[in-house]
Amino acid sequence: MVLRSSLKNYLQLSCILRTPKAGLRSTTSGGLIIQSISNDVYQNLAVEDWIHDHMNLENQQVLFLWRNSPAVVIGRHQNPWQECNLRLLRQKNIKLARRRSGGGTVYHDLGNINLTFFTTRKKYERMENLKLVVKALKALRPQLDVHVTDRYDILLDRQYKISGTAAKLGRATAYHHCTLLCNADKFVLSSVLKSPYKGLKSNATPSVPASVKNLFEDDPGLTCEMLLGAIAEEYAMHHQIDHRITLINPADEAVLPGINDKTKELQTWEWVYGKTPKFSVSTCFNMVYKGSVLDVKVDMDVKHGRIETCNIDLPEQWLPPVLCSELVKSLTGSKLCPNETTALATTLLRLCPQDDELHSRWNLLCENVKMLM
Amino acid sequence: VCIHRVRSCSSIRFIKSKYVCVFDKSALKFSHQQRLFRTSAVSRGQIVQFKLSDIGEGITEVTVKEWYIKEGDSVSQFDSICEVQSDKASVTITSRYDGIIRKLHYNLDEIAYVGKPLVDIEIDASKGVAPEEDVVETPPMSHEEHTHQEIKGHKTLATPAVRRLAMENNIKLSEVVGTGKDNRILKEDILNYLAKQTGAILPPSPKAEIIPPLPKSETVPAAPKDKAREVPVPVSRPIVFSGKDKTEPVTGFQKAMVKTMSAALKIPHFGYCDEIDLTQLVQLREELKPLAQIRGVKLSFMPFFIKAASLGLLQYPILNASLDESCQHVTYKASHNIGVAMDTEQGLIVPNVKNVQVCSVFEIASELNRLQSLGSAGQLGTNDLTGGTFTLSNIGTIGGTYTKPVILPPEVAIGALGKIQVLPRFNGKGEVFKAQIMNVSWSADHRIIDGATMARFSNLWKSYLENPASMLLDLK
């Protein structure tokens, strides 16, 4: 998304962002404001990683501006099954990403802007950054009632959350990023951030739900572009640097060597789901079959996103015990993933006696087990 | 406890008696450490308690979320030790020392305190090393490259002294074969590596991005001057290969495939192969492709193959049957649910097109499009993946001519199609012409299907495809 504004000039980044010792040769020393031209959440998260790993921030600070097409982003140590409605995400083709910073789960779409403040570890200071954002908002619209809480949230009208914060600290560098709701789809937000999965027991970081509101609702004249512009201005003033925003292409290997590998890693199942801390599922559900209701109890231990142990309790003889144990054995070690389960369940069906009744029972059980994933 | 031991031993007067005393006790209590704790190392290794450093913002407590190392691992300065979380901030704690991890002070999800010990590290007393004379012309490596080397997740084990030697000579540790315990790189290994490099000129790295120098001999342009006089004698060098075997469990869908294929092999297979002249079909498809495109469907050869197979099955229904487990009954399936083998991320998946016997070629093409897009997304549903009665595998899109396909239970037959090649053939007049030839390899269950049946079915299928107009006569 290219911002059009007569007040700003955009520099095309060529070889400026470079390797470890080189640091950044920006147009002015002291700081840099960059904006991603991509709306892909994985690419943008990869840019954060890249800057964190490769840029020398000794003498400068960086502000990174980005927006994503619909995506749910969970914190580093969170459990996606606990945090969001994965079934709905798949249905609506909403991406799921795990970021490297801590904190809770958020929903991104083009009506939400993301700000990342990069500094050295010593200069890491979240409150200062958020106060800067509030100052920018007030400069843009003085009547807005926005303030920062001690939980590092920004509230609108004293009650609605419009921004959440998270941070990542490394050896020498750190970043603090936050969201800002301008005009996001609140309906989709609330429906995807509600988990339907029952019986989960986990030590993963839980999210703290909050009522949200879009800035747009208080002032329909506000757009994301305006907010980005105001925050960039304020940042530039505060750090006494050039206010021009440099556009950056997260797919450009020449400018960001190694970025595509980072993007790929963020998309792997092993990162998104496999990094979930160990958890257990203990639940029961009803199946309706030919007029009778059956109680099924399922217990699973999940580690690295894979089913470590599995137990399915069915009414006796509803399915031949041999088949049931085959299912359990195949599920053990398998990913907690409905597609994987479909593939293995349908393959195992080839070995079952060719009995329509048996097949429909098997399919019913498998469909229900998949609902837990 | 280790520190106490060192202290008591440093007191001169009691060295002999107490040393022996203490050591005996330790032999009983700390037997697991005995292996790593050499007698001569009592004065050498010093246990340092690495404390959790200040996080900033006045934070005093964090939760340990992930350990990157375990007790006994060797770490270098800047290696990641663990991930801790505090109030929405995730912090990567890196080691300040080179050494061996001796103790983790916290378990996962426990609260760790700033300023308190996080891990105990045994520090090796590092000694200075004189630089080697033969300096290899390789591009300079960054400090980070030397201090934490990972070859696809394996940490390169090497003491700090060895690492310094490598760094001074611009050697990337991942290029060196370790001959020590657990593939640890020893000083001798570095010296051997250097010896091999002598006389070779390695190409410089093209970009600032770190690219390892190519070790292959074909990239070495010149030989040193003194060798120009002699006839080069091939030196037998040990083949250096530093790859490691990787063992993974067979899980999930793969496990199910193992079971299915093992069962499939119990079926007595016989094969029957033939070649099909698709010259006319190729032309027909070229004509029909744009028509299908207008209707929004991509038309490949498969819909024709599938429809022709179904027409053949009408004449030879035993190929669309199923034999029960006890081999007592054969069930002739009414529907022709023809499976199409697909290569997806998960592996070999076989969705099927339902009721081909009542579908037009266009409908089959449309259904194939749907299955292919779901297949590449890994989102095929149960209904698409079950109920197949006969399978075709178009392995020719990848390559190959004749194959030996394996029947998918509970089916009794399968056909594999090779690639279409342009080959010279003789026509009716004895003239050579350019023919589009494809090979087909059938496998069938010899318990209920005989060679003659398979041959006749194949001939019929072949005749439909070689003369597509003939399909019109039998289309329902």
Minimal C-alpha gap between A343 and chain B (Å): 6
Residues of chain B with pLDDT under 50: 1-43, 127-154, 199-228
* Torsion over CA: A329, A332, A334, A335 (sign): positive
How many domains would you assign to chain A? 2
Q: Are B104 and B141 in contact (CB under 8 A)?
A: no
The reported pLDDT for the residue numbered B367 is 96
Q: Are A102 and B85 in contact (CB under 8 A)?
A: yes
Is A16 within a domain?
no
Residue with tokens 């293995």: A344
| Cβ neighbours for B28, distance < 8 A, ≥ 6 positions apart | none
Chain A CB within 8 Å of residue B408 CB:
yes
Shared-domain flag, residues A173 and A37: yes
CA A93/CA A81 separation, integer angstroms: 17
Shared-domain flag, residues A149 and A292: no
Shared-domain flag, residues A240 and A299: no
Measure the CA dihedral A131/A137/A138/A144, to 10°. Answer: -110
State the amino acid at position B25 in one-letter form: K
CA B122/CA B115 separation, integer angstroms: 19
Is A158 within a domain?
yes
Q: Spell out the alpha helix ranges (H) of B298-440.
A: 302-315, 361-376, 382-385
Is A354–B410 a contact, with Cβ atoms under 8 angstroms apart?
A: yes
Residue A10's nearest CA partner among A21, A1, A2 is: A2
Shared-domain flag, residues A345 and A245: no
Measure the CA dihedral A58/A61/A62/A63, to 10°. Answer: 160
Residue A46's nearest CA partner among A338, A262, A360 is: A262
Between B204 and A371, where is the model more confident? Answer: A371
Minimal C-alpha gap between A43 and chain B (Å): 20
Q: Are A369 and A341 in contact (CB under 8 A)?
A: yes
Shared-domain flag, residues A120 and A139: yes
Is A307 within a domain?
yes
What predicted TM-score, i.e. pTM, was given to this entire model?
A: 0.75
Is A313 within a domain?
yes
Chain A residues touching B83 at Cβ < 8 A: 76-77
**Mean pLDDT calculated for residue range A98-116:** 94
* Residue A8: Cβ within 10 Å count: 15
CA A237/CA A29 separation, integer angstroms: 14
CA B346/CA B366 separation, integer angstroms: 24
Minimal C-alpha gap between A4 and chain B (Å): 34
The reported pLDDT for the residue numbered B123 is 85
Q: Which of A254, A273, A292 is the last residue of a domain?
A: A273
Shared-domain flag, residues A269 and A287: no
* Torsion over CA: B46, B49, B50, B54 (sign): negative
Is A344–B252 a contact, with Cβ atoms under 8 angstroms apart?
A: yes
For A61, phi then psi, to 5°, come to: -120, 155
Residue B108's nearest CA partner among A278, A59, A260 is: A278
Q: Which of A238, A273, A308 is the last residue of a domain?
A: A273
Give the domain CATH number at A65.
3.30.930.10
Mutate to test the interface with A, among B90, B109, B327, B349 (most CBs of A within 10 A): B90
Q: Are A102 and A72 in contact (CB under 8 A)?
A: no
Give the CB-side neighbour count of residue B100, counting CA atoms within 13 A: 16
| pLDDT grade for A38, boundaries at 50, 70 and 90 | very high
Is A344–B259 a contact, with Cβ atoms under 8 angstroms apart?
A: no
The reported pLDDT for the residue numbered A132 is 94
Is A20 within a domain?
no
Is A10 within a domain?
no
The reported pLDDT for the residue numbered A22 is 36
Print burial letters for A89-100: b (CB count within 10 Å at least 16), e (below 16): beeeebbbbbbb
Chain B residues touching A305 at Cβ < 8 A: none
Shared-domain flag, residues A90 and A220: yes
Q: Which of A245, A273, A301 is the last residue of a domain?
A: A273
* Residue B135: Cβ within 10 Å count: 13
Task: Name the residue in chain A with its Cα closest to that of B348.
Answer: A343
Between B79 and A29, where is the model more confident? Answer: B79
| pLDDT grade for A257, boundaries at 50, 70 and 90 | very high
**Mean pLDDT calculated for residue range A200-228:** 91
**Distance from chain centroid for Cα B154:** 15
Minimal C-alpha gap between B380 and chain A (Å): 7
Cα–Cα–Cα angle for A23, A25, A27, rounded to 5 degrees: 150
Between A44 and B345, where is the model more confident? Answer: A44
CA A329/CA B139 separation, integer angstroms: 52
Q: Are B340 and B392 in contact (CB under 8 A)?
A: yes
Shared-domain flag, residues A343 and A268: no
Q: Are B420 and B438 in contact (CB under 8 A)?
A: yes
Is A343–B55 a contact, with Cβ atoms under 8 angstroms apart?
A: no
* Torsion over CA: A79, A84, A85, A86 (sign): negative
Between A229 and B137, where is the model more confident? Answer: A229
Please report, for residues B108, B140, B172, B205, B209, the alpha-carbon distance to residue B219 in angstroms, rounded to integers and kept in the order given: 49, 19, 18, 13, 20
Q: Are A74 and A84 in contact (CB under 8 A)?
A: yes
Known catalytic residues of B are: 446, 450
A-B CB pairs within 8 A amount to 156
CA B423/CA B409 separation, integer angstroms: 36
Is A250 within a domain?
yes
Shared-domain flag, residues A136 and A264: yes
Length of chain A, please? 373
Give the domain CATH number at A345.
3.30.390.50
| Cβ neighbours for B402, distance < 8 A, ≥ 6 positions apart | B273, B418, B439, B441
Chain A CB within 8 Å of residue B263 CB:
yes
Is A9 within a domain?
no
Residue A39's nearest CA partner among A103, A97, A121 is: A97
| pLDDT grade for A56, boundaries at 50, 70 and 90 | confident
CA B410/CA A349 separation, integer angstroms: 9
3-state secondary structure B403-451: CCCCCCCCCCEEEEEEEEEEEEEECCCCCEEEEEEEEEEEEEECCCCCH
Angle between helical axes of A321-331 and B252-264 (0-180°, round to 10):
130
**Mean pLDDT calculated for residue range A103-122:** 93
Instruction: Please identify among residues 52-71 of chain B the ones whose CB lies closer than 8 Å to any CB of chain A.
Output: 55-57, 65-66
pLDDT tens digits, one per residue of A305-357: 999 999 999 988 888 888 889 899 999 999 999 999 999 999 999 988 888 88
pLDDT tens digits, one per residue of B458-467: 999 999 999 9
**Mean pLDDT calculated for residue range A94-123:** 93
Ordered domains of chain B (ranges, CATH)? 46-123 (2.40.50.100), 160-195 (4.10.320.10), 270-473 (3.30.559.10)
- Peptide bond before B160: cis, by omega within 30 degrees of 0? no
CA B87/CA B414 separation, integer angstroms: 60
Pairing mode, strands B338-340 and B390-393: parallel
Chain B CB within 8 Å of residue A208 CB:
no
CA A89/CA A95 separation, integer angstroms: 7
Shared-domain flag, residues A321 and A266: no
Between B16 and A186, where is the model more confident? Answer: A186
Minimal C-alpha gap between B240 and chain A (Å): 28
The reported pLDDT for the residue numbered B243 is 79
Shared-domain flag, residues A172 and A296: no
Shared-domain flag, residues A283 and A269: no
Tokens encoding A129: 């950054």
Q: Which of A168, A174, A350 sits opposite B410 (nearest CB)?
A: A350
Please report, for residues A54, B268, B325, B368, B415, the alpha-carbon distance to residue A350 in angstroms, rounded to integers and kept in the order given: 52, 17, 12, 22, 18
Q: Which of B56, B88, B256 sits opposite A124 (nearest CB)?
A: B56
Is A19–B209 a contact, with Cβ atoms under 8 angstroms apart?
A: yes
Name the β-bridge partners of A77.
none
Question: What domain range is A143 assigned to?
Answer: 32-273
